[in-house]
Structure 1
């Protein structure tokens, strides 16, 4: 198949999943064309069967804002005609789904549109009255719509008046990248022999509840020698630094900023903390599980579909930092329980979230769309 993929190419779960899916599909013999404003950061070096097509919005003086959505639609149509694409798979409802529908109208009905919803396009943008109708339009006019969790399917149906069936296809990990690594030498760089590492990775937005992360760590480090490793940057960084200073934890927190390659850092950790207020899936929890690292976090959104409470991690209500801290302490102090959680997590990844399995699900979906 000849497939166009459009996503947000910068840091973020939707871009990661879209890029990794494209790479897997290319390995399986499909021709993949990324159409977006920048090279996806996970794309890396040359890949056979993968093309990249940049999009640049016209900056004509009469435009107050460059019309990226129209430029994207035009570029999609151009690439579809030139390379005879079978379908466009767009990740995120706006503007990608709408642009893809417009491109289809320019090219013809033989070009199919598959839209994957990732979360904030529904939970955040769907709350905006000025965008709700256009989001519904993009979804309803797509030939097929998927969402990354059952929770997100339900949220979309509750929030938006869509008449399109939404199929759940989970996110995934490439087991060749995310697996338990030997990082003993790297651990020596960051901590003492008896210390544990608690890890948090995010874009540091309020919804990630970074202050809860610090509060959980504060309770844990009073019972277990530990350090907190923070990967990412964002608007909550100032609050994190202030709270760390207030609790005298600055010397125990390792700030690593944004990191493109996180598999080795995850293997370095003993626990992942994910106390999010909203989480459509929880990709970082899946990546941690694939590295043998249990998650302690909230039961928000799609997280319980990834982390099995009491089997591969522990979950508590949003904001219940006391319970999360107690769960973390229990896991860190019980070596047998920790090993059991780690092993069951690895088995769960292989069973439900393996990249090849999910790529095959998308292939089947594409074929259904093309045959319809």
Structure 2
């Protein structure tokens, strides 16, 4: 049994909650639901959006903060959010620092193409380092069953646990408010919504080619940064630029407004873990058109919460979109099932206890209940550099 670490702190390391991407969204949800505050977790920002100088400064400050807490013996557990490539090498340094001071750690793995990165972009020395770090972790957190199996292929000695990404459920009052404010735009024409990094991996170019085949009336909004210029040029070449709005990266309020209006959410990716964007869309009761890659089939079942199309199948993608555009009742049916699945399997209310139990299993004592009228200190999240 793992010894309980009394009077010591959980340190969580990852990108800034105000940054872009899945890790930032996950951490932001943990912060907003109060679990970091409840456990007095100190969050250290290791990466920020911005210039190379800003990123280097953030990493340097994080190293100094972690080193100080290690030297003073204040850390009971490291919870490290890690992706592939630069994130892997950056987090490797923090993990090795923790190991020098005999601090146990969890690796929370987020990269959808980690196995491909490991197999094709790492030499033998780097592969050895990755296997070493994975095998020494108390647990490696995988986002899906399939992902856990892939990690085992890299390092059979690794202890994996599955913790799905979670999202808050929009309240009925918020949903009604957003829908009321957007009611004049709901059906004229139906809105297809894409949220994610614009580029090949998320299938953005396939999506533009697919909507160019549609005869139905529609409006497509693409929310995200990335290869915007290339996507805009393609939409112009195919004659659909008047039907597509490139909205750039969207904040939470902007996303919520669009999700309340959306008739269909689409994400025709080639590689994924469990996309936060799909979970968010389902929480708003939006039907899904996506691809059966990564952990997506564990979230979206064909013909239940949406439609699945093979990656790269542009004609199939167009047919799936056309089918839902022509069937409002089917969209409602899929949307209701999707929201129910989020509520029962992927909501923060369901998954927060699993996260807390993982910390207990890793040796951390459960926090004492707050006395009536007492307050728990807010989690220390470092500002962006």
For Structure 1 versus Structure 2, the TM-score category normalised by the shorter chain is 0.7 to 0.9
What TM-score comes out, normalization by structure 2 length? 0.80
| Counterpart residue number, 2:377 | none
Do the aligned partners of 2:186 and 2:262 also contact (CA within 8 Å) in 1?
Answer: no
Change in CA separation of 1:287 and 1:214 when aligned onto 2, cut-off 3 Å: same
**2:2 is aligned with 1:19:** no
After alignment, is 136-145 or 121-130 more displaced? 121-130
| Correspondence for 1:146 among 141, 153, 175 | 141
Do the aligned partners of 1:117 and 1:146 also contact (CA within 8 Å) in 2?
Answer: yes
Q: Which deviations, in whole Å up to 9, do the C-alpha atoms of 1:304-340 show, x marking residues without a partner?
A: 1111110001001111122222222222222222111
| Counterpart residue number, 1:134 | 129
| Correspondence for 2:105 among 84, 93, 113 | 113
Q: 1:191-206 counterparts in 2 under 5 A?
A: 194-206=188-200
Q: 1:187-226 counterparts in 2 under 5 A?
A: 188=184, 194-220=188-214, 222=215, 224-226=216-218
Equivalent position SS for 1:14: helix
| Counterpart residue number, 2:179 | 183
Query: 1:276 Cα deviation (Å)?
Result: 0.5
Distance 1:117 1:350 in 2: 24
Change in CA separation of 1:177 and 1:142 when aligned onto 2, cut-off 3 Å: farther
Distance 1:176 1:84 in 2: 37
Query: 1:56 Cα deviation (Å)?
Result: 7.9
What TM-score comes out, normalization by structure 1 length? 0.83
Change in CA separation of 1:121 and 1:18 when aligned onto 2, cut-off 3 Å: farther
Do the aligned partners of 1:104 and 1:112 also contact (CA within 8 Å) in 2?
Answer: yes
Q: Which deviations, in whole Å up to 9, do the C-alpha atoms of 1:214-260 show, x marking residues without a partner?
A: 1222233x1x211110101113x232112211121111111110112
| Counterpart residue number, 1:169 | 163
| Counterpart residue number, 2:381 | none
Change in CA separation of 1:327 and 1:121 when aligned onto 2, cut-off 3 Å: closer
Say which structure, 1 or 2, has more relative contact order (CA 8 Å, 6+ apart). Answer: 2
Distance 2:155 2:269 in 1: 27
| Counterpart residue number, 1:47 | none
Q: 1:7-86 counterparts in 2 under 5 A?
A: 7-9=14-16, 10-26=19-35, 29-37=38-46, 68=59, 72-80=62-70, 84-86=74-76
Distance 2:15 2:98 in 1: 20
Query: 1:80 Cα deviation (Å)?
Result: 4.8
| Counterpart residue number, 1:328 | 321
Distance 2:230 2:67 in 1: 45
Query: 1:343 Cα deviation (Å)?
Result: 0.8
Do the aligned partners of 2:282 and 2:288 also contact (CA within 8 Å) in 1?
Answer: yes
Equivalent position SS for 2:363: helix
**2:249 is aligned with 1:258:** yes
Change in CA separation of 1:27 and 1:146 when aligned onto 2, cut-off 3 Å: closer
| Counterpart residue number, 1:234 | 226
Equivalent position SS for 1:219: coil
Query: 1:57 Cα deviation (Å)?
Result: 5.0
Q: Which deviations, in whole Å up to 9, do the C-alpha atoms of 1:124-164 show, x marking residues without a partner?
A: 53232233222222211211111111122122233x23411
Do the aligned partners of 1:15 and 1:40 also contact (CA within 8 Å) in 2?
Answer: no
Do the aligned partners of 2:14 and 2:46 also contact (CA within 8 Å) in 1?
Answer: no
Change in CA separation of 1:264 and 1:253 when aligned onto 2, cut-off 3 Å: same
Q: Cα RMSD over matched residues?
A: 2.9
Change in CA separation of 1:27 and 1:114 when aligned onto 2, cut-off 3 Å: closer
| Correspondence for 2:82 among 79, 88, 92 | 92
| Counterpart residue number, 1:244 | 235
| Counterpart residue number, 2:383 | none
| Counterpart residue number, 1:3 | 10
Do the aligned partners of 1:101 and 1:142 also contact (CA within 8 Å) in 2?
Answer: no
Change in CA separation of 1:120 and 1:193 when aligned onto 2, cut-off 3 Å: closer
Equivalent position SS for 2:15: coil
Distance 1:362 1:250 in 2: 44
Identify unmatched segments of 5+ residues in structure 2: 1-7, 366-385
Change in CA separation of 1:8 and 1:123 when aligned onto 2, cut-off 3 Å: farther
Query: 1:7 Cα deviation (Å)?
Result: 1.2
Query: 1:288 Cα deviation (Å)?
Result: 0.4
Identify unmatched segments of 5+ residues in structure 1: 42-54, 59-65
